[in-house]
Amino acid sequence: MDASKISVAKVEILHPTPQSSVISNTSTPVTPELVESVIRQYYYRTPAVADDSELILAWAGSQSREQTKRKYYRFGQKFKEWVRNQGIPDLRLIQLTLLLEFIESWGEVSPYTKSNQVLMLRSLWSYGSAENCGYFLRNIASSINYDNFSDLPKAERYLEDWEMKKLGDAAKKMEGKYWLVFSLLFYSGMRVGEVGRVTVPSDERRKPREDYPGLYWHNFKWQPDPAPDDKNRGYYTIKFRGKGGKYREIGLDHETSKLFKKYRGMATDKAPVFPNMSPDPAKKGLPLSDRAIKRLIQDISEVAKVKFSCHWLRHSHASRAVEHKNVFEVQNQLGHSKTDTTKAYVRAKKDAGTGTVLPRF
């Protein structure tokens, strides 16, 4: 191809427009809030919650059990109120030293309570700083040390015979329903959340939603079981909704059943077993709440000067029952889904050991 025969069109050359070498900044001034927003957008995109209240509600709601949800929500509200009283309008402005001051404000509490509440505080910051929430920029609570009492073997949460005797004597001497509540928890092996009425937070303020109704007399069914020396002997079976919403039915021993039959008197099936006598019309006539039952147990503990909780009665029930019943029967009574859980409740009997049954050589 002959390059000399190629025609070239006229090209117009445009001169560049003069511009200033420095462009003036017309954007928003850089502030700490803007930097935080940019960092948040970069790392977390948009936070899943807008403020402290939404954070606490979402954090409590992320728990699996309804009782745990309520417990976390109440702790979160208590913490937020304390922070506001310190003049701080937002949990994101808190430093580690203030968290330690909050722990100090609890005063003299049991090691179990302190450990439990520190774990909840750490859990709140862990949830809020997670990528799927993005409310806190970092987890400042992760460095708080705590005594992990949850590692205490379940079988060690056990009441000796002399402790049970002191508690029983104290419960009998106290007025009201103390002995009845103590007896039912120990001899049935039921959880406190299966005996008392359980509520959880709802969308409406001061109007909790009922999660478990508590025990009514229609849950109790009398089963005649006459004996040669007592033709009126019998026992109650109790059918109720247990952990995980599963219904189960257990038997109540003859002596405790006799006590409750006398206590019932002429009460109808629609009457609660432990009615709330509060002057508050919204509560009066309903079954006692699980919190009220825990307070009754705490009162017994203080009078007898023996520290224990409602759940320790379950452990003590299991350790004694397994000496006379097989582990599957105890498992059914306690409502465990696995025998391994029941075995973990049982404390090995402390005696001279199995060598006592071996032949001597």
From first to last of the 361 residues of the chain, give the pLDDT tens digit: 565 565 555 656 666 666 555 555 556 677 877 777 766 665 555 668 889 999 999 999 998 877 788 889 999 999 999 999 999 999 999 999 999 999 989 887 767 678 889 999 999 999 999 988 889 988 999 888 876 555 555 556 788 999 999 999 999 999 789 999 999 999 999 999 899 998 876 666 667 777 788 999 999 999 999 999 999 999 999 999 888 778 999 999 999 999 999 999 999 999 999 999 888 888 888 999 998 999 999 999 999 999 888 989 999 999 999 989 999 999 999 999 899 989 888 877 666 777 877 888 8
- Could you give the 3-state DSSP secondary structure of residue 257? helix
Burial class (CB in 10 A: 0-12, 13-18, 19+), 111: exposed
Rg for the chain, CA atoms, rounded: 32
Q: Which CATH superfamily is domain 154-345 in?
A: Intergrase catalytic core (1.10.443.10)
Q: Are 149 and 112 in contact (CB under 8 A)?
A: yes
Question: Which residue spans within 105-216 are E strands per DSSP?
Answer: 198-200, 209-212
Query: In the prediction, which pLDDT does 3 show?
Result: 54
pLDDT at 164: 95
Residue 51 phi/psi, 5-degree rounding, is -150, 180
Q: Where are the domains of the chain?
A: 32-150, 154-345
Separation between Cα atoms, residue 330 and residue 342, nearest integer Å: 7
pTM: 0.64
pLDDT of residue 108: 75
Q: Which H or E element spans position 315? A: helix 310-321
The per-residue pLDDT for 25 is 57
